[in-house]
């Protein structure tokens, strides 16, 4: 009996390895390039948080996303796509759907934070973590199909954490995280994705210093460069 269970596990592991390999190969666009999907949060009727009388979150997230793409224009092995172009209303399901349809190798959702009183400052970086993992529905514990799905899911989570750690190192000098930076959190948009993915809250609109910095083009450019450099390192 023990031998049979071990055989099933080995077969499951081999199947998982094959599935992971296939997933990575299929995740590239028809030209063979890696696919990065950037989600500039909010848009359209959804302004997000207010930074100034005429500056809202949706403008900052799109500006940073655009600069990230510009930084990656010379990347011959990469295609960059957005979940929204311009000031458009896009549902969360459509944002997730865009990443899935593109068979993305990496998904980055860009936001501006708020709350935690005026003292809270610096960026926050969320990755899905392992708490959201669930056994395959309807599959008995130990069944090979469930093992395969779990191993594939774990592989994507590990890759998401790896990218988050790279981005953390490159963002720290630009927008100090004040001990808030890297977090395992059940962020809804991440829990529904089965690709490496992170949510980046650039800074706090409720903090006077952060709010001022977030409106500066030089800071937006520096944040975008840190993101772009992290993407290059992750996908190289």
Give 44-68 pLDDT, tens digit per residue.
999 999 999 999 999 999 999 999 9
Residues in a beta bridge with 200:
110, 125
CA distance 221 to 175: 12
Residues in a beta bridge with 37:
81, 107
Closest CA to 229 of 74, 115, 122, 50: 74
pLDDT for residue 11: 34
CA distance 112 to 211: 9
Q: Where are the domains of the chain?
A: 2-235
Give 92-106 pLDDT, tens digit per residue.
889 999 998 999 999
pLDDT for residue 32: 80
Contact status, residue 71 vs residue 162, Cβ threshold 8 Å = no
* In the chain, alpha helices (H): 2-26, 57-71, 92-101, 144-171, 188-191, 208-214, 217-235
| pTM for the model | 0.79
pLDDT for residue 74: 93
Q: Which DSSP category does 116 fall into? A: S
What is the chain's pLDDT, residue by residue, as a tens digit (236 residues)?
A: 433 443 333 333 333 333 333 333 344 566 789 999 999 999 999 999 999 999 999 999 999 999 999 999 999 999 999 999 999 999 988 999 999 899 999 999 999 999 867 788 889 888 876 544 443 344 444 454 544 455 556 777 888 889 999 999 999 998 887 756 556 555 666 767 788 999 999 999 999 999 999 999 999 999 999 999 999 999 98
HSE of 82, CA atoms in CB hemisphere, 13 A: 21
Q: Which residue in the block uniquely carries the two structure tokens 């750690």? A: 165
Q: What does the block give as tokens for 229?
A: 């450099």
pLDDT for residue 30: 67
pLDDT for residue 128: 73
pLDDT for residue 194: 80
Q: Which residue in the block uniquely carries the two structure tokens 């709010």? A: 211
Q: Top-level CATH class of 2-235?
A: alpha beta
pLDDT for residue 90: 94
pLDDT for residue 181: 53
């Amino acid at each position: 009996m023990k031998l049979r269970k071990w055989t099933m596990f080995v077969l499951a592991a081999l199947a998982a390895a094959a599935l992971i390999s296939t997933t990575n190969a299929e995740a590239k666009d028809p030209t063979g390039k890696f696919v990065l999907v950037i989600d500039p949060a909010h848009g359209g009727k959804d302004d997000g948080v207010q930074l100034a009388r005429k500056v809202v979150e949706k403008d900052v997230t799109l500006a940073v996303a655009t600069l990230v793409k510009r930084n990656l224009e010379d990347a011959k092995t990469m295609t960059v796509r957005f979940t929204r172009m311009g000031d458009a209303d896009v549902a969360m399901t459509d944002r997730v759907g865009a990443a899935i349809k593109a068979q993305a190798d990496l998904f980055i959702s860009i936001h501006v934070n708020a709350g935690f009183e005026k003292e809270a400052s610096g960026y926050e970086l969320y990755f899905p973590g392992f708490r959201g993992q669930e056994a395959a529905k309807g599959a008995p514990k130990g069944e090979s199909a469930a093992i395969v799905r779990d191993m594939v899911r774990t592989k994507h989570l590990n890759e998401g954490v790896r990218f988050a750690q790279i981005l953390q190192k490159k963002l720290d000098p630009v927008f100090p995280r004040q001990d808030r930076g890297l977090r395992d959190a059940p962020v809804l948009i991440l829990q529904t994705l089965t690709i490496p993915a992170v949510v980046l809250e650039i800074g706090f609109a409720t903090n006077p210093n952060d709010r001022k910095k977030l409106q500066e083009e030089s800071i937006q450019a520096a944040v975008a460069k840190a993101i772009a450099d992290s993407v290059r390192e992750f996908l190289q």
